[in-house]
Amino acid sequence: MSPQKLLSTLFFLLGCIAYSQEFDADIQLRPRFEYRNGYKNLLKENESSTSFISQRSRLNINFKKENLVTKLSLQNIRTWGEVPTIAINDKNGIQVYEAWAQYAFDSKWNARVGRQIISYDNQRIFGPIDWLQQGQSHDAAVVKFKNKNTNLDIGFALNASAENLVAPAVAYTTTYKNMQYAHYNFARNNLNMSLLFLNTAYEYSNATNDINLDYKQTFGTFITYKKTKWNTDLSLYQQTGKSNGNILNAINAAINFNYKLTNNLQATIGYEYLSGKDQDDSNSKLRSFTPLFGTNHAFNGLMDYFYVGNHINNVGLKDAYLKLSYNAQKWQFALSPHLFHAAAKVLDESSTKMNSNLGSEIDFTTSFKVQKDIVVQAGYSQFFATKTLESLKSAPESKTNNWCWIMVNINPKIFSSK
């Protein structure tokens, strides 16, 4: 979208204020410095660390009139320096992050269509991935039902590369081809339970370049139980169907127990299992679980060694972890160590079974609220790799691996009218 078109759109929306019931706009500016020294993959002997600053610049416009609610969210994502100081055009331009309309049929039923965030429960299967500067959103339609204790969402999507006249000769691989899902939530007293069924279809080309469509099903439950000083959650998901012509059968299970030690200090102990496939298993059947659209950065360590664009169709993962979080007025602190093991057999170059221990990681994060709309956050992570992980990551003699970052989130409301 050109700057001229953007300004025209904004002036048009501002001109509608007099006729609206509710209208507000806010901006988010989020620069982030990162020092990467083995982030997401082990640093090899011939590789060096790097650092950079990325920035999200986002404009959110919300409009509500009677039964209609709409949202338009525009953003620009950049790395400082990728556009020259004297430039005619921006490298990345303006992206539509959200553009949806929601209509309420009555007090219980509504429908939302357009580019939107889909997020449920602890965001393991569906989430906005807010850590990514670009975030994650879907082109979808969702019908929603809400009652006193229950919520039901039914959604679907159909994707294509363009407005084609005939079927394309190449497979669509940008994302899923189509999707259907149902999410049911029930809450009463201290118990909250969700059920999810997700069906996703992916196109792929076979050996003769014929285009095929495989369907993958992800289904399961997420349950939480809360008391005054403690709460616990349990999740269990299974994946079936096919992927690239191969039969899939995989599972994911996790449990967390949280206890409030004081008014400011909370401790969490947890464990997650994601199934994988033995490296000496020659069967074509897939056994590795993939958390499809989840906020995976929030799971399995902040250095993103597992399931953040990597570790797919691999040996799976066992993750045992502890988290200590402390809040003091405007400050927040969190410390979280992880112990990682492979869920399936790992072999060395001589096909000998290796120890399942993949290593350990410790994450420290902090944040400070400068004022209502300005928050400063920072973090440091250290990974201690084993020979087994070095074999998996093809880094036979990795260096010390760590990562640190500092981020400023500036998010003021710039206009509001009711």
- Alpha-carbon span 164 to 177, nearest angstrom: 14
HSE-CB of 202 using CA atoms within 13 angstroms: 15
Task: Report how far Cα 197 is from the mean position of its chain's Cα atoms.
Answer: 18
Closest CA to 366 of 337, 311, 405: 405
Measure Cα distances from 11 to 14, 96, 100, 339 in Å.
5, 17, 19, 54
Intra-chain end-to-end CA distance of the chain, in Å:
29
Is residue 363 a contact partner of residue 381, using CB atoms and an 8 Å limit?
yes
Domain spans of the chain, in order of start? 3-417
- For residue 218, what are its two tokens? 């992800």
Closest CA to 220 of 126, 155, 148: 126
Is residue 144 a contact partner of residue 152, using CB atoms and an 8 Å limit?
yes
What's the sign of the alpha-carbon dihedral 357, 274, 177, 129? negative
Whole-model pTM over 0.85? yes
- Alpha-carbon span 305 to 24, nearest angstrom: 39
Closest CA to 377 of 55, 33, 7, 126: 33
Alpha helices, H only, 95-148:
none
Is residue 241 a contact partner of residue 216, using CB atoms and an 8 Å limit?
yes
Would residue 29 be called left, alpha or beta, if left means φ above 0 and alpha means ψ between -120 and 50 degrees?
A: beta
Classify residue 46 by its DSSP letter. T
Identify the CATH number of the domain defined by range 3-417.
2.40.160.100
- Alpha-carbon span 382 to 364, nearest angstrom: 9
Residues of the chain with pLDDT under 50: 18
- Alpha-carbon span 281 to 286, nearest angstrom: 10
Q: What are phi and psi of 4, to 5 degrees?
A: -65, -45
